[in-house]
Amino acid sequence: MAISATSFGQQDAMFTKYMFNSLAYNPAYAGAKDHMAISLLHRTQWWGIDGGPNTQTFTIHSPLKNERVGLGFSAVNDAIGPTNTISANVSYAYRIPFGKARLAVGVQGGVLNWRADWSKLSLEEIVDDAFSETTPNYLLPNFGAGLYFSTSKFYLGMGVPHLIEYDLREENINSAQWAKSYRHYFFSAGAVVPIKGDNIVFKPSILVKSVGLLSNTNKDEAYQNIGAPTEFDVDVSFLFYNTLWVGTSFRSAVEAITNGTSSFDSVDFWASYYLTNGLRIGAAYDYTLTKIQSPAQGSFEVMLGYEFNYVTKQAVTPRYF
C-alpha cells in the first residue's frame, strides 16, 4: 500500500513586475519602446525560507537606425535550493507596420547553464542513484521566438523563450521520473485607458504562462507528463503624470478556477517612479495566499532601469509599454 501526492511548479522564473521585463520571455519585444531601455530586476521569493527561489534579470534593447529592426540582450540568474540556472540570449525583432499598429516578429539564440550541488541536500537514502553525481553541470544551447502586436493604446504578445527541450537524466539512471527542461509559453495582453488625458492613465494587463502546451503531441512519452498548472497574472495599475506608477495584481492558476486542483498563489502590490533624468526605480511585494504563507513571509522585488527616451520626450503620446 502506498499514498502518493502531486506537486505543481514551473521551471522558468516568475515576476510580479513582468511588464517591465518583457524581453526576458518574448524576443519580439526588442526595440518596442522606440528608444534604448535598460532594466535590472531582483526577486526573492518566499522570503524567510532557506533555499527559496532567488532571481536576477538584466535586459537591454533598442531599435536600430532602420526603425523596423530591434536588437536586445537578456540574462537571467535563477537559484532554487541546490540548483542554479544561468541563461543569456541575444534577440532580434523585425517590425511590420499596419497603419498605426505594428507587428513584431522576434527570434533569439543563446545558451543555458544548469547545475546543481547535491551535497547541500540531506538525503533520507544515503545511497541514491539519482544523486550519484554530486555536481551535475549542463551547458545547453537554445533558441526562442515570439510575436508582439501593438498600438499606442494596446498590445498582444506571445513568446516561447526556449524551444528545445532537454533530458537532464544521467545515462546510468533508470527511472520513470527524472529531471527535464520543458518548453514554456507566455501570452500577454494589455491596454491603456486615459482617464485625465496623459495625467492619469489606467493600464490593465494579463500574463498567462503554460508549460508543455502541446506536450501531448510529443513523440517522447516522458515529455507528455507535465506537472505544472497554467498560471496567470492579472494586473491593474495607474500612471500619474507620467511619473508615479502604482498597481496591484492577482496570481493564480487556471486549474484553481476550473476544477480546484490548484490554489490561489498571491495578491501583489507594486510601485515604480520615473525620475526626470530617465532613471526608473521600483519595488513589489507579494502577499502569499497558500499554506506556505506562515514560514515564507511573502516575496519581494526591486527594480532599477534607465530610459534613453530621446524620442519619447518629444512625442505627444508617450509609449506605456
DSSP state, residue 34:
S
- Say which residue, 33 or 2, is predicted with more confidence: 33
Model confidence at 239: pLDDT above 50 = yes
pLDDT reported for residue 227: 64
Q: For residue 65, name the pLDDT band (cuts at 50, 70, 90).
A: confident
Name which of 140, 139, 130, 135 is nearest 170 in CA terms.
130
Q: Give the amino acid at 319.
A: R
SS3 of residue 130 by DSSP = helix
- Tens of pLDDT along 79-119? 999 999 999 999 999 999 998 899 999 999 999 999 989 88
DSSP string, 38-92: EEEEEEE-STTSTT--EEEEEEEEEE-SSTTEEEEEEEEEEEETTEEEEEEEEEE
Q: For residue 263, name the pLDDT band (cuts at 50, 70, 90).
A: confident
Lowest mean pLDDT among 42-51, 130-139, 174-183, 214-223: 214-223
- Tens of pLDDT along 7-26? 344 567 888 888 888 999 99
* Rounded mean pLDDT, 291-306: 88
Q: Write phi, then psi, for 81 (nearest 5 degrees).
A: 55, -125
What pTM does this model have?
Answer: 0.87
> Between vectors from CA 231 to CA 268 and to CA 297, what angle results, nearest 5°?
35
Averaged pLDDT score across all residues of the chain: 85
pLDDT reported for residue 250: 94
Rounded Cα distance, 50 and 36, in Å: 37
Q: Write phi, then psi, for 22 (nearest 5 degrees).
A: -65, -30
Q: For residue 255, name the pLDDT band (cuts at 50, 70, 90).
A: confident
In whole angstroms, how far apart are CA 22 and each of 26, 177, 272? 6, 32, 16
pLDDT reported for residue 181: 80
Q: For residue 176, name the pLDDT band (cuts at 50, 70, 90).
A: low
Q: Which residues, other chains included, contact 159 with Cβ-Cβ below 8 Å and sequence gap of 6+?
A: 25, 26, 27, 28, 29, 106, 144, 145, 146, 147, 185, 186, 188
Model confidence at 67: pLDDT above 70 = yes
Topology (CATH) of 18-117+131-168+178-314: Porin (2.40.160)
SS3 of residue 206 by DSSP = strand
* Rounded mean pLDDT, 213-225: 60
Q: With contact defined as beta carbons under 8 Å apart, do 32 and 104 qualify?
A: yes
> Between vectors from CA 244 to CA 238 and to CA 246, what angle results, nearest 5°?
45
Question: Using only C-alpha atoms, what is the Rg of the chain?
Answer: 21
pLDDT > 90 in the chain, percent? 52
Q: Which of 109-123, 147-161, 169-183 has the highest mean pLDDT?
A: 147-161
Q: Which of 6-20, 241-255, 259-273 has the highest mean pLDDT?
A: 241-255
Model confidence at 72: pLDDT above 90 = yes
